[in-house]
Amino acid sequence: MATLKLGVLGSGSGSNMQSIVDAIEKGELDAEVKLVLADVPDAKILDRAKKHNIPCQYLDCAPWKTKLEGPAEDECIRLLKEAGCDMVVLAGFMRIVKPKLLAAFPMRVLNIHPALLPAFPGVHSWTQALDYGCKVAGVTVHFVDAGTDSGPIIVQKAVPVLEDDTPETLHARIQVQEHVAYPEALRHLASGKLKVEGRRVRIG
């Protein structure tokens, strides 16, 4: 069992990164956030990192809009390694990560997705669940592989869909569970007991 050394990639508010930092500060998770990178210069995740004195910076991912590739991917790997990260946490990072990053951190890249995968991969999953008429939505924390939201699942939490839900109310209820699920998944990794057998993740 070793303290996880996390590099967090995000694009937005960073509430998931906050839930991880809070769990660490409460002594509920044996980890350190070594670096936060955002592909949006004024992303709130950077402000949150600064408040906790976590090294952070903007990563310019141009010219691509939806993926992390080329010089930006190389720079990302360099920064994560230089900061001593041994695990990469995608926390609302709205880009597809490519095989080079995955090879630099084999089975050490995690993502949180606001749906019960394999249902509704991709974007605005909570709206997809609502439009489909689902009675249950949720959240998935999974290892990242070369596909889209397709890697082995570590933790899932279900959330009821209410009759008067809007995309906003449903997403807000899903986010409450996200903030439980990500620290929980990381605790399983920190315990050293987690084993991946094909698609199946066994915990203890």
Phi, psi of 74 (to 5 degrees): -60, -45
Among residues 13, 127, 150, 169, the one that binds ligand GAR under rule CB under 6 A: 13
User: Which residue is it, tokens 């890249």?
Assistant: 109
Binding string, residues 73-112; x marks residues near ligand GAR by CB under 6 A? ------------------xx-------------------x
The region, left, alpha or beta by phi > 0 then psi within -120 to 50, assigned to residue 14 is: left
Nearer to ligand GAR, 83 or 176 (CB): 176
For residue 1, the minimal CB distance to ligand GAR (Å) is 27
Asked if 15 is part of the footprint of ligand GAR (rule: CB under 6 A), the reply reads yes
Binding mask 106-145 for ligand GAR (x = CB under 6 A): ------xxx-------------------------------
Element spanning 67, H or E: strand 67-68
Residues 6+ apart with CB under 8 A from 103: none
Among residues 165, 121, 167, 124, which one has the least CA distance to residue 140? Answer: 121
Q: Residue 175 CB, nearest distance to ligand GAR (Å)? A: 5
Q: Output the smallest distance, CB 114 to ligand GAR, in A.
A: 4
Q: Indicate the DSSP class of residue 6.
A: E
In the residue annotation, 113 being an active-site residue is answered as yes
**Using CB under 6 A, which of 7, 8, 14, 184 touches ligand GAR?**
14
CA dist list (Å): 119 to 9, 113, 123: 24, 10, 12
What does the CA dihedral 148, 203, 170, 168 come to, rounded to 10 degrees? -60
Q: Does 177 bind ligand GAR (CB under 6 A)?
A: no
Instruction: Give the strand pairing for 87-90 and 136-143.
Output: unpaired
Residue carrying structure tokens 């094909």: 198
- Looking at beta carbons only, is 10 or 151 nearer to ligand GAR? 10
Q: Which of 113, 171, 179, 188 is catalytic?
A: 113
Q: Tell which one of 101, 137, 175, 188 touches ligand GAR (CB under 6 A).
A: 175
Binding site for ligand GAR (CB under 6 A): 10, 12-16, 91-92, 112-114, 175, 178
The catalytic site residues sit at 113
